């Protein structure tokens, strides 16, 4: 990751992600039967109990876990922890029925309401935004091949320093965030810059876990997207670049072969094609 004068702390990122989650996401499932809550809670606790018994967990280790969990809460890092180490399995289970494009995790840095750019446009960015220019052309269709005119493609990604607007200081509010609306033929064209790989924040409790376990904290470079159309299921995905050293060991376990781009040189930048096929909402 390149040097920057604006390095976000884990606490700042955690607080931003927590507030965004509270504002944008439901905090419960209405009318969930008690039997369902009982089943899930008991099985999660049973799995923890089995681990304790299998590995003879000591009181010192138990107290270290308790202190770490308290620290995660105090630092506001639950969105980071859950999005990095848990969400990829929830996403797999929730979308395994789909016939269209594969998706992956949303992550903690999505912000709704990014500026509309039409079917051909440039993502909002700073003057002389560092990074390789990237032109992306694509088309949105349904599983039956029908073009989905008016489909929305929301795009957001990190900058050349691996930082996200609204989650790091000193970056304009909507930098590298935009909403594109497919034309009558379902096509769109987006111009942006190629993002950089980055490390998730490591100065908080999640970073302490990474260090204690001997893991790395890197995510490969990726473009985040949400693709939607009336009568179709929302697709949330990340698109990756070949050759990134962390495609095979992404800390968030979110990379899938179907999400790999194939950029080619074009003028002073790169061009890439990637289409989306959306599944209709089940009857």
Q: Where are the alpha helices (DSSP H) in 96-250?
A: 205-213
Distance CA 104, CA 235 (A): 9
Domains within the chain, CATH numbers bracketed:
9-24+33-283 (2.60.130.10)
| Per-residue confidence in pLDDT tens, the chain, 283 aa | 333 445 556 666 666 667 767 666 666 667 889 999 999 999 999 999 999 999 999 999 999 999 999 999 999 899 899 999 999 999 999 999 999 999 999 998 999 999 999 999 999 999 999 999 999 999 999 999 999 999 999 999 999 999 999 999 999 999 999 999 999 999 999 999 999 999 998 999 999 999 999 999 999 999 999 999 999 999 999 999 999 999 999 999 999 999 999 999 998 999 999 999 999 998 8
Distance CA 190, CA 276 (A): 14
User: What integer pLDDT is reported at residue 32 of this predicted model?
Assistant: 87
Question: CA 82 → CA 120, 257, 279, distances in Å?
Answer: 35, 23, 26
User: What integer pLDDT is reported at residue 213 of this predicted model?
Assistant: 96
Distance CA 241, CA 100 (A): 21
Both tokens of residue 145?
């091949």
Q: How many CB atoms lie within 10 A of CB 166?
A: 16
Predicted model pTM: 0.88
Return phi, psi of residue 33, to 5°. Answer: -60, 145
User: What integer pLDDT is reported at residue 283 of this predicted model?
Assistant: 81
User: What integer pLDDT is reported at residue 272 of this predicted model?
Assistant: 98
Distance CA 239, CA 220 (A): 10
Q: Select from 158, 159, 139, 157 the least CA-distant residue to 149.
A: 139
């Amino acid at each position: 990751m390149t040097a920057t004068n604006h390095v976000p702390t884990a606490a700042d990122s955690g607080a931003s992600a927590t507030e965004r989650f509270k504002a944008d996401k439901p905090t419960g499932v209405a009318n969930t039967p008690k039997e369902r809550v009982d089943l899930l809670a008991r099985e999660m606790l049973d799995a923890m109990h089995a681990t304790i018994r299998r590995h003879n967990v000591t009181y010192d280790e138990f107290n270290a876990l308790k202190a770490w969990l308290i620290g995660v809460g105090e630092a506001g890092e639950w969105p980071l922890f859950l999005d990095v180490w848990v969400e990829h399995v929830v996403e797999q289970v929730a979308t395994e029925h789909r016939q269209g494009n594969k998706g992956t995790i949303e992550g903690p840095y999505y912000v709704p309401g990014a500026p509309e750019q039409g079917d051909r446009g440039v993502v909002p960015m700073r003057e002389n935004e560092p990074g390789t220019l990237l032109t992306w052309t694509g088309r949105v269709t349904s599983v039956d091949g029908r073009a989905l005119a008016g489909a929305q493609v929301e795009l957001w990604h990190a900058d050349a320093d691996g930082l996200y607007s609204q989650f790091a200081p000193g970056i304009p509010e909507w930098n590298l965030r935009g909403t594109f609306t497919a034309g009558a033929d379902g096509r769109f064209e987006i111009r942006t810059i190629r993002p950089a790989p980055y490390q998730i924040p490591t100065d908080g409790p999640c970073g302490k876990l990474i260090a204690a376990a001997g893991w790395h904290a890197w995510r490969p470079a990726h473009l985040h997207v949400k693709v939607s159309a009336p009568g179709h299921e929302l697709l949330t995905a990340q698109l990756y670049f070949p050759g990134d050293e962390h495609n095979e060991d992404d800390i968030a376990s979110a990379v899938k072969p179907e999400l790999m781009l194939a950029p080619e040189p074009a003028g002073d930048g790169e061009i890439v094609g990637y289409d989306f096929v959306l599944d209709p909402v089940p009857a």
